[in-house]
Structures are given as C-alpha cells and as structure tokens.
Amino acid sequence: MICFGFFSWWPIVREIVMSFQKTNFAGDTTWVGMKNFTRIRHDPEFWTAWRASVEFSLLALIFGYAVPFIAAVVLNEIRHARSYFRLLVYLPVMMPPAAAAFLWKWFYDPGDGLFNTILRDLHLPTSQWLQSTNTAMISLVLFSTWINMGSGTLIYLASLQNIPGELYEAAEIEGAGLFRKLWHVTIPQTRLILSLLLMLQIVATMQVFLEPFILSGGGPEGKTTTVVYLIYEYAFHFNNYGSAAALGFVLLVVLAGFGGAYLWLSKRGDEA
C-alpha cells in the first residue's frame, strides 16, 4: 500500500493539483483555476492529438488485437518445436523498447532502409514510410504490433490450453470445420480473456508515446502527434507544466470513464 500510495496514487493527486496551477521553471506555483483547461481546449493541436490517438487505437485494435489471437491459435495447433516458436514470438518483448524503435527507424529509412531495399530488390515501388502522411500512422502501428504481440499471444495461448478437449471432439462429431470450431468453441471459451485484453489494449494504445517520440517525432505535419506526446511537448518543450497536467487529467477522465463503462457492461453481462 505504501509503494502504491507513493509511486502511483500520489503522482495522480499531484497532477490533478498542478492542472489548476501555473508552475514556472523554478517550481513556484500560483492558482489559475480552469485557465489551463481553457488554454488546451483552444489549442488547435488538442483536437489533432485526440484524432491521432483514436486513429492509432483503432488501427492497433485491427492489427495488435487480432494478430496475437491468431498467432496463439496457430501455436496451439503446432505439435513439434512448440517451445521454440513460443520463444520466437515472445522475443521482441524482451528487447529494450527504445533500442527496438531505433532499429525499426532504420528499417523505415526512405533511402537504404531494410524495407525499401527489399522493395527495390523485388522491383516494387518504395515508400516514404514515416515521412508520408498516408503511411506514417500505419508504420507506427506495425512496429507496436510487432513489439507487443508476444505478451498477448502467450496469454491467449494459456487460455486456449485450458479449453476442455471434449468440446472440440464434440464439435468434430457434429461435422464442424476449423472456422466453426473457432467461432463456436474457441471464442466463447476465451470470451473473458478477449474482453479483458480489449480493454487493456484500448487503455494502452490511447497512451502511446514511444512510437511517435522516437520513430516520427510527432510528424509529418502533426499526423502522429498523440495526446501523450502533446503532454510531453507542453511540459518539456514549452515548460508549461500546468497545461501538461490539465491534458493528462483530461486523458485520465476519458480512460477512467471507459474503464467504468467496461466494468458496468461486464457486470450486466455476468448477471444476464
């Protein structure tokens, strides 16, 4: 409780207090009421950052939520070298995130990067991965999916291995194929894990920072400036800690509202 109070709860309380204050570089504070919230609401980058965060979350749900589940289903069917493939899938999680991001930044290099080199060898058109407004966001999502899929895959895999084999045998007797077994047995039996990881995925992706910070620097044209990246800019580029705290408080309220709605729907589902 002391560790949680000091390292988790107290910073949250301190941030809420700072959102109503103006803090200068020396640490002197004055109360300004709702002025910080008014300032960020009228900042054009405020809505741009929210659009970028929502876009990243939606794309990450398409790739980062589905790909680990599919990988877990495939790994669950493998009978030989299963441990090797599990290690292979989980390996990106063990890499330092910053080092992995710099590695992928080289992959995305428009000149001699790995991806464009492969495309040129195949006589295909190259791409301005992180420099184009059309591909910058999807490039961040691909990296995020790659580096984070290992944890979700192992969680799904553990859930799949707890499904009684009799259910699959009964489905086979009824003549069910692979997709019918997946739809009528696998997904219903892993519904709780699927819903829990869905909530965690949304909460995590709405707080994305590493990808735009290292890979794209919030560009091009602010296309990948997410909410947390904007908080960083407020605090450490403009030394406006009050606005940074206010935007962090807004993000906290939005995610807390989503979490509360999820718990309410889950409770109603269990009662039904």
- Any idea which residue has 């290292």 for tokens? 214
Q: How high is the pLDDT of residue 141?
A: 93
- Whole-prediction pTM: 0.88
Q: In this structure, what token pair is assigned to residue 34?
A: 């709702």
Q: How high is the pLDDT of residue 129?
A: 93
pLDDT tens profile 189-242: 888 888 888 888 888 899 999 999 999 998 898 899 999 999 999 999 888 899
Contact (Cβ atoms closer than 8 angstroms) between residue 22 and residue 38? no
Q: How high is the pLDDT of residue 56?
A: 94
Distance in angstroms (rounded) separating the CA atoms of residues 213 and 225: 9
Q: How high is the pLDDT of residue 232?
A: 94
Q: Is the pLDDT of residue 25 over 70?
A: no
Burial 191-219 (b: 16+ CB within 10 A, else e): eebbeebebebbebbbbbebbbbbbbebe
pLDDT tens profile 59-91: 998 888 888 888 888 888 887 777 888 888 888
Domain limits, the chain: 34-271
Q: Is the pLDDT of residue 98 over 70?
A: yes
Considering only CA atoms, which of 203, 185, 188 is closest in space to residue 262? Answer: 203
Q: How high is the pLDDT of residue 189?
A: 85
Q: Is the pLDDT of residue 269 over 70?
A: no
pLDDT tens profile 233-254: 999 988 889 999 999 999 999 9
Q: Is the pLDDT of residue 262 over 70?
A: yes
Return the CATH number of 34-271, one of 1.10.8.350, 1.10.760.10, 2.60.40.3950, 1.10.3720.10. Answer: 1.10.3720.10
Distance in angstroms (rounded) separating the CA atoms of residues 181 and 178: 5
Q: How high is the pLDDT of residue 181?
A: 81
More confident residue, 184 or 40: 40
Q: How high is the pLDDT of residue 272?
A: 55
Q: What is the mean pLDDT of the chain?
A: 88
More confident residue, 264 or 106: 106
Q: How high is the pLDDT of residue 72?
A: 87
Q: Which of 140-149, 153-162, 165-174 has the highest mean pLDDT?
A: 140-149
Q: Is the pLDDT of residue 33 over 70?
A: yes
Q: Is the pLDDT of residue 22 over 90?
A: no
pLDDT tens profile 113-145: 999 999 999 999 999 999 999 999 999 999 999
